[in-house]
Amino acid sequence: MWSLAESTEFVDSIDGLRKQGCEIPIAVLEAALDGPADLQSETEKSNRGRNTMFEIAVAGRLARSGLSPRLGEEPDVFVEFDKRRVFIQCKRVFSENGISNASSMPASNSKRDLARSLDPRDCGVIAISVSRVFNKGDKLLVAHDEGSLRQKLRDEIDSIRAAVSREYRHVTEPKVAGIYYHLGSPAFLRVWACTSARTR
């Protein structure tokens, strides 16, 4: 199920980037396809592929919104929006221990990116995927409809954000505009069918 969920997000992201005319470097695609196919076989030494897939997923969402992001350089994802440049540094958390300091390296990289910028309108965004923490590869999320499914995912993200919000005090760069959380999981919609019988 995880392979199906990941491949669906990957194909949707690539499709969105191509429709927007965005270049997808071969090296990025090769990196994304590196590593084990089964999520449960992934280790911290073999997570390069899924880390890159997360960067593509972020870029793909931007492309589907009508923007033209760039991949394969520093920062991880770069996009122009509202006459400003947005530098996006991505971090895919591998375990619960990594959540509290998940923004440390991206924040440092964002500060570096912004230091190179001469335009005061430019800003940075930190993108963090908590999918691997929420689901180690053996969970199937069940909901009655898409609305309740989205709410479950929002509640999970809110819980994680509340638990680590104090850790963001070290993000002192004022031009880091915000933190974007990503959470995906295989899910099953349990649709209830209602029937009624009438008698005469």
pLDDT in tens, 66-93: 999 999 988 999 999 988 999 999 999 8
- Mean pLDDT of the 100-115 span: 72
- Mean pLDDT of the 4-12 span: 93
Tokens representing 7 are 């491949």
Phi first, then psi: what are they for 81, rounded to 5°? -150, 130
With respect to residue 63, please indicate whether it lies within any of the assigned structural domains.
yes
> What is the residue whose two structure tokens read 């965004």?
125
User: Is pLDDT at 49 greater than 80 in this prediction?
Assistant: yes
With respect to residue 199, please indicate whether it lies within any of the assigned structural domains.
no
Give residue 111's pLDDT band: very low, low, confident or very high (50, 70, 90). Answer: confident
> What is the residue whose two structure tokens read 């995906």?
184
Residue 194 confidence (pLDDT): 45
β-pair partners for 70: 78
With respect to residue 66, please indicate whether it lies within any of the assigned structural domains.
yes
Structural domain range at position 18: 2-189
- Total domains in the fold of the chain: 1
With respect to residue 178, please indicate whether it lies within any of the assigned structural domains.
yes
Q: Where are the beta strands (DSSP E) in the chain?
A: 70-71, 77-81, 84-92, 123-129, 141-143, 176-182, 187-189
- State the Cα–Cα distance between residues 184 and 7, nearest whole angstrom: 12
Give residue 197's pLDDT band: very low, low, confident or very high (50, 70, 90). Answer: very low
- Mean pLDDT of the 86-109 span: 77
Q: How far is CA 19 from CA 38, 49, 77, 152, in A?
A: 29, 23, 17, 31
Phi first, then psi: what are they for 76, rounded to 5°? -60, -45
Residue 101 confidence (pLDDT): 65
